Structure 1
Amino acid sequence: MTGPALEGIIAYPVTPFAPGEAGGVDTAALTALVDRLVDAGCHAVAPLGSTGESAYLDDEEWYTTAEAALAAIAGRVPAVVGVADLTTRNAVRRARFAERAGADAVMVLPQSYWRLDEREVVRHFTEVADAVSVPVMIYNNPATSGVDLSPELMVSLVGRVENITMVKESSGDVRRMHRLAQLTDGELPFFNGSNPLALEAFAAGAAGWCTAAPCLIPGPVLELHRAVRAGDLDTAREVFYRQLPVLEFILGGGLPTTVKAGLALLGLDAGAPRPPLLPLDEPGTARLAELLAAIA
């Protein structure tokens, strides 16, 4: 299975909404945000992840977002489209749509109301992967999906399904990244999805960092990656600790909420998050403004 050479900083845009609770996807703002991420030097763009509020979009909004984001990326960098749904049928449909629209890879997050056993997880991933020809990234994010995938299970899926070729590990436990490396002799590309673990994850051998942080602070995020790749640990530590307060704040306050507030502070109105999520409150916005000013 061949595909795009994914590595480095994979940027996750929010999904901008027009004003009002019934506001649909603001494709012009989404295009502007994608342009900013690509122009900043991010190595790939991944719409419709958790940051993109994919769980809060209806089907037509999801299709609109996928098409608009892929059109804006326009092949300038690899595009990884997030695919998540409670049902395998809908996940297959979205994965196929993403492939037709030009995605270079799909990132599959299993979601569950009823707890899934290993047999059900394997069938879900296998059916989605079999429905497309592009590479599939396994996404483990138990905090949002209700499904926790062990390193052993993820490695097993990579071994048994040809186009499942990489993993995004977002449990917040760096030991799992070490385990992924151990189980595959360092051959499996895995990506860090936990912002506060960025430095540790690179030290553990992560191929890249999947993050919404470039929406607000692309310079320091990319500088960290450059320092790591150059083997300059002193610079990497300095750059990481400088951005860590922002990383912790946006994660702690909920990525759609905090990133949209930060974008507004930076002059790009991405609208409010979709209810039941609420916009960042005034004290939170003031604190975020202070943090962004300190790192500028």
Structure 2
Amino acid sequence: MATKSSPPPHGVYVPAVLFMDEKEDLDIPSIKAHVLRLAQARILVQGSNGEAQHLSHDERKLAIATTRQTLDENGFKHVIVIAGTGGQSTRETKKLNADAKEAGATYALVLTPSVWPPQMTKPNIIRFHREVADASPIPTMIYNFPVVTAGLDLDSDTITTLAAHPNIVGTKLSCGNIGKLQRLTSALPSSDFATFPGKSDVFLQGLVSGSAGVIGALPNVAPKAHIQLLKLYEEGKLQEAVKLQALLGHADWQLGKIGSIAGIKAIVSKHFGYGQTHVRGPLAPQQLQDAAVDKLEELIALEKSL
């Protein structure tokens, strides 16, 4: 039997947005600036927040390579890059995994195909992820995000079955289901399989339930605050952690109501001095003036104080 690949380390991971110019081309200087601000956390490139499904293969590879190069050139060679690589066919996903490896990614985060939901039975989902992992030159993780996979929601039995594969080493649960997360963490040793919630509003709840940290959109805005919560929890300062978690939960909710990807770009551009609000159609830019952002503003003030 093949040796089990190692999972990603415990911590805060950021599915980084990719900044674009008015022509919807990649804005490389702003992408580099964002990577450097996030570098104290670990980086996920080509997640849903990175508009992966709206990019060409060459653009996806360029974004990963730019991220890896920027980290390496600025003293962050230790920072892990996870690449979102889900395609709508097994063949395409295998190619995206190979590209991610060539571009410098350490892990691949794989969405379940969703163009034909009725065909994606449990046996077919398991077969897809196993075939992708068999061929992948880097360890893979299962990305469960029903909102972007036509409602497909992998249950804990399916993920546990897949976790037995030697090259499948973790999962991101953007379903936000803490019961599912705890079933996985209690059944699978953390040394073999890392289980992450995909939402900041259950970050602390996930830690209490044995998660490996968080992979969430909100750290694009406030990576230091998330690292602070992890530190408070590890130091046993639960009351302080609960208070900070409440702020993260409210801020995450406000970010979602703005429109996560476009909202992140608008907030980062306004408060951190780089990047524009352009997104790739059919997404639309978001304006902040009519949105309730008081908790986001409070979180940003905290972020800048840390």
TM (norm. structure 2) is: 0.88
Q: Which residue of 2 aligns with 1:207?
A: 212
Task: Identify which of 109, 127, 139 aligns with 2:143.
Answer: 139
Q: Which residue of 2 aligns with 1:64?
A: 62
Task: Identify which of 168, 171, 175 aligns with 2:179.
Answer: 175
Amino acid at match of 1:54: A
Task: Tell whether 2:5 aligns with 1:7.
Answer: no
Alignment partners' CA distance in 2, 1:97 and 1:195:
29
SS at match of 2:281: coil
CA contact (8 A) 2:6 2:169 kept: no
Count of equivalent residues: 288
Q: Which residue of 2 aligns with 1:37?
A: 38
CA deviation vs aligned residue, 1:213-232 (integer Å, no higher than 9, x gap): 22212232111111111121
Task: Identify which of 276, 283, 286 aligns with 1:280.
Answer: 286
CA deviation vs aligned residue, 1:167-219 (integer Å, no higher than 9, x gap): 11111221111111233366632011022111211111101100122221223
Task: Tell whether 2:129 aligns with 1:125.
Answer: yes
Deviation at 1:294, TM superposition (A): 2.2
Q: Which residue of 2 aligns with 1:78?
A: 80
CA pair 30-183 structure 1, distance change in 2 beyond 3 A: same
Amino acid at match of 1:191: F
> How big is the alpha-carbon RMSD for the aligned residues of Structure 1 and Structure 2?
1.8
CA deviation vs aligned residue, 1:20-40 (integer Å, no higher than 9, x gap): 3xx2111221111101101xx
TM (norm. structure 1) is: 0.91
Percent identical pairs in the alignment equals 25
Amino acid at match of 1:117: T
Q: Which residue of 1 aligns with 2:159?
A: 154
SS at match of 1:181: helix
Alignment partners' CA distance in 2, 1:104 and 1:186:
18
Alignment partners' CA distance in 2, 1:251 and 1:111:
24
SS at match of 1:46: strand
Alignment partners' CA distance in 2, 1:255 and 1:26:
19
Alignment partners' CA distance in 1, 2:128 and 2:140:
12
